[in-house]
Structure 1
Amino acid sequence: MSVSEAGPFDRRSLRERTIAYLRGQIISGTLQPGEHVREVSLSDKLGVSRGTLREALRSLEGEGLLVNDGKGRMWVRKLSAQEIAEVFEVRTALEILAATKLAGSDRRAEFADLLERKVEDLREPDLGFGERIEADLGFHALMCELTGSGTLSRSWLQLNSQIRMMIIAAGPERAVGRMRYEAHLPIVAAIRAGDVDAVRKTLTEHMHDFTRRYVGDALAAEPGETPADRR
């Protein structure tokens, strides 16, 4: 069924359904980082007008999932090793701030319970790649949200698309092992204990490991990249 054929309970607009479909194609890896998004074939496949498709593509460009080459062509975004390092540097600072706030709160046990439940899905061995990404990032987003700071949460969410692109670029085989239930438990434990030093140490190590792995993947991919890959 094309995106133009909505089910009886799908009240989203055609544009919104198109965005959701394309986002899913990128997250699943069907549309690969560095791949050219071909408007004509996509509009025919999805049963939508070129105008609707372009609106959807512009929205995904705004999310950071696509980039425009300046000639009217869209490409699935591919992050450089430098960009990945910069994203993780900012992400680490934001998450340490968030977790420190939670650890210093009188409600820290409640927050720890909520975070532990949020990451519970990662225990499922058959969890789909997209679902695993949502569970993993949902934990970190919730950690920022629980601080009650809208500015902190919005700042973290601005990095969300770039973080997703790193995971997608790594692919299911490499990325799934990095999104483990057990890896999040020390963060929860440090918050529950109200141990600010442990919070900083645990999150720094957690993010440093991710940075090293994803930057390593990006550097390994760069020597043989094509001009499209660099977009």
Structure 2
Amino acid sequence: MTKIEPLGAVRERVLAALRQEIIAGRLRPGDRLVERELAERFGVSRVPVREAIRALVAEGFVHFESARRTVVRRLTRADVRELFELREALEVYAAGLAASRATEEGLAELRHLLDKAAAATEAGDAETITDVNTRLHDGILAMAGNSLLISVMEPVDGRLRWLTRQNEEWPQLLAEHRQLYDAIASGDPDRARAHALRHVQANYRSTVRHLFGDTEEPG
């Protein structure tokens, strides 16, 4: 007897797949999302596809150009600036907390992720780099030990991953993450916050350069 997948589970599966395709760049800004085509591709009805698209609109990945046309959003300068302002406020704070609350187990996990990031950087594997770097920042948030901070970051986590994917200066990104790890491992909150701030600001400049062909100072 074939088990019927609940509608909510189908919606979440389609949503997760489409979100990852956007983050990875397989669905690019301006690409159209057509309910009928997506339903056929995923082998589902149009209802969970429609709900997944609405969720992507709410998350800021796609928008309705018209009543019948839904496309992947193009990141604007305002989008990038606002997301990085949020990163600067929250990730710098999280780094300071992580430095004061770090455990050997947590630090070992960060070292493991840095090793994976180094291997992916050497291989030029963009999707793995994005995934591992996201897990690295998630690990720092977890080490900060503040559940409210995690809940505040959660609604924009996908867009932050999408933004991270725009920065293709991978060796520099790896070097910054290693420096950030060293600062957190030192147990010095001021040092950790200073490195986190430099990292966010450098990432901002790299992202603006990649998306718009020029540089702009954050803040």
User: After superposition, what is the alpha-carbon deviation per residue over 1:8-38, rounded to whole angstroms, capped at 9, x for unaligned?
Assistant: 9x99943333223322322332210222212
Cα contact 2:98–2:144 (8 A) shared by 1:
yes
How do 1:1-231 and structure 2 match up within 5 A?
Answer: 13-69=9-65, 71-105=67-101, 107-124=102-119, 125-126=122-123, 128-168=125-165, 170=166, 175=168, 177=170, 180-220=173-213
Normalised by the length of structure 1, the TM-score is 0.77
- Structure 1 runs (4+) greater than 6 angstroms displaced: none
Cα contact 2:59–2:156 (8 A) shared by 1:
no
Aligned residues: 209
Quote the Cα distance in structure 1 between the aligned partners of 2:64 and 2:103: 44
Quote the Cα distance in structure 1 between the aligned partners of 2:81 and 2:195: 18
Counterpart of 2:159, as a letter, is Q
Quote the Cα distance in structure 2 between the aligned partners of 1:14 and 1:151: 29
Counterpart of 1:210, as a letter, is N
Q: What is the DSSP-based 3-state SS (H/G/I as helix, E as strand, rest coil) of the residue aligned with 1:117?
A: helix
Quote the Cα distance in structure 1 between the aligned partners of 2:57 and 2:114: 29
Report the identity percentage: 26
Query: How far apart are residue 167 of structure 1 and its match?
Result: 3.7
Normalised by the length of structure 2, the TM-score is 0.81
Superposed CA RMSD in Å reads 2.8
Quote the Cα distance in structure 2 between the aligned partners of 1:192 and 1:28: 31
> Structure 2 vs 1, CA of residues 120 and 64 (structure 1 numbering), >3 Å: closer, same or farther?
farther
> Structure 2 vs 1, CA of residues 104 and 45 (structure 1 numbering), >3 Å: closer, same or farther?
closer
Q: Which runs of 5+ in 2 are unaligned?
A: 215-219
Determine which structure has greater relative contact order: mean sequence separation of CA pairs < 8 Å that are 6+ residues apart, divided by chain length. 1
